[in-house]
Amino acid sequence: MSLLEVNDLTVKFYTEEGVVNAVDNLSFSIDRGEKFGVVGESGAGKSVTALSVMRLIESPGHIESGEVLFNGENLLEMSDEEIRSIRGNEIAMVFQDAQTALNPVYTVGEQISETIRHHLGYDETEAKERSIQLLDTVGIPDAESRFSDYPHEFSGGMQQRAIIAMALSCDPDLLICDEPTTALDVTIETKILQEIETLADEFDTAIQLITHDLGVVADVCDRVMVMYAGKPVEKAPVEELYYDPKHPYTVGLMSSIPRIGDERERLQTIPGTMPDLVDLPSGCSFHPRCPYAEESCTRSEPALVDPETGAVATDDDEHVAACLEYTGELTDGLGYEVTVRDSSDDAEVETVAGAKASSAVDTDVPDAGGDRRD
């Protein structure tokens, strides 16, 4: 049995502009101790997915259908009391703006101790010891004296580490990290990601890492789900996603990973922005931005299929993608290649746009740019 199993989750928000299709028929599972990445741009539905798992969707949001099984029990059917005891104890969450989760008027140490006392019933001395130990584990130097510092005395990176320490303090089975390093410098980002990874191994905690940056996922995760406009468009083990991406959107995300020391002009980023989730494009939601879109892409919505056979995806399939190419409905096919270049020590993936550079369909392509933050 998987630790977390999300089945056919659909979440909508009822706003005066219209109904926002935030998450549409989403299924995925995370095994015990597994590191699972969820990737996509803003508006892909990544955070809403995470908030649904924590049952933190509030009005005007509604979980319209689906189930979220944690250790086999449906979180969506639990009482408020039951879900509260799961949150923080068995599932913990670290947000991008975790700093705001620290209360400025209490010392960092007090806040971690309080969590430990509350959830684990430790006495004051035990909780303090455990907190110092955790601060030390997440790499806060001189943890014993920093225990009494206030949040403003910590740097951004240290605040984020303190939050991770707090999240890990109750030894959760699942740690959901929502853009945990986006607000931080690149060097601190790398360190924090390494720490999350090491800690997850040490504590045997499963990680759901949500990010807009495919590069971050490559460093940390075992398996990845790429989301677009509230739907999964590709799921694969991380190496396969890198060396053999099957969905044009994944390819677009890969092309826009910046590479240190690479002086060449960055390959094409994906033109346009995520569609309005109130009025999704017909057919494949990605068609207005897809360089390989054909007329059929505006008429049929591709299902997640096994790209080798075109058969509808099952739980057993490791690598699945949602593009009409794999059900034989494209005339010209996908025109990208992936080449693996050997740089100094790492293998590197380069994506090259194929011969068919632009779509043959008359669609509106909004201005390039978008709201990516990379």
* Residue ranges that bind another protein, judged by CB under 8 A: 12-20, 22, 42-48, 51, 56-62, 64-65, 95-100, 155-157, 159, 178-179, 182-185, 212, 277, 279, 281-283, 298-303, 362, 364, 371, 373
Give, as ranges, the residues between 197 and 256 that touch ligand SF4 (CB under 6 A).
Answer: 248
Shortest gap between Cβ of 237 and ligand SF4 (angstroms)? 21
CB closer to another protein out of 55 and 223: 55
Enter the DSSP assignment of 269. Answer: P
User: Looking at 34, 179, 189, 325, which residue binds ligand SF4 (CB under 6 A)?
Assistant: 325
CB closer to another protein out of 163 and 349: 163
Q: For residue 253, give the nearest of 267, 263, 232, 236 by alpha carbon.
A: 267
Backbone angles phi, psi at 5, to 5 degrees: -135, 115
Shortest gap between Cβ of 279 and another protein (angstroms)? 6
Q: How far apart are CA 149 and CA 223, in angstroms?
A: 38
Residue 287 interface partner, choices another protein, ligand SF4, none, CB cut-off 5-8 Å depending on type: ligand SF4
CB closer to another protein out of 238 and 284: 284
Shortest gap between Cβ of 25 and another protein (angstroms)? 10
Residue 297 interface partner, choices ligand SF4, another protein, none, CB cut-off 5-8 Å depending on type: ligand SF4
Shortest gap between Cβ of 228 and ligand SF4 (angstroms)? 9
- Widest Cα–Cα separation across the chain: 69
* Complete DSSP assignment for 178-210: ESTTTTS-HHHHHHHHHHHHHHHHHHT-EEEEE
CB closer to ligand SF4 out of 47 and 351: 351
Vertex 90 angle, CA 191 and 208, to 5°: 45
What is the Cα 338 distance to its own chain's centre?
23
Site string for ligand SF4, 293-322 (x = CB under 6 A): x---x----x--------------------
CB closer to ligand SF4 out of 210 and 293: 293
The verdict on 127 binding ligand SF4 (CB under 6 A) reads no
CB closer to ligand SF4 out of 224 and 334: 334
Q: Kindly give the pairing relationship between strand 231-237 and strand 223-228.
A: antiparallel
Shortest gap between Cβ of 353 and ligand SF4 (angstroms)? 13
Enter the DSSP assignment of 153. Answer: G
Q: How far apart are CA 57 and CA 51, in angstroms?
A: 6
Q: For residue 369, give the nearest of 272, 250, 229, 286 by alpha carbon.
A: 272
Q: For residue 98, give the nearest of 54, 151, 143, 50 by alpha carbon.
A: 151
Shortest gap between Cβ of 27 and ligand SF4 (angstroms)? 19
Whether residue 180 has a cis bond before it, omega within 30° of 0: no
Residue 190 interface partner, choices ligand SF4, another protein, none, CB cut-off 5-8 Å depending on type: none
Do 197 and 217 touch, CB atoms closer than 8 A? no
Site string for ligand SF4, 253-292 (x = CB under 6 A): -------------------------------x-xx--x-x
Residue 45 interface partner, choices ligand SF4, another protein, none, CB cut-off 5-8 Å depending on type: another protein
Q: How far apart are CA 177 and CA 260, in angstroms?
A: 25
Q: How far apart are CA 2 and CA 8, in angstroms?
A: 16
Binding site for ligand SF4 (CB under 6 A): 248, 284, 286-287, 290, 292-293, 297, 302, 323-325, 330
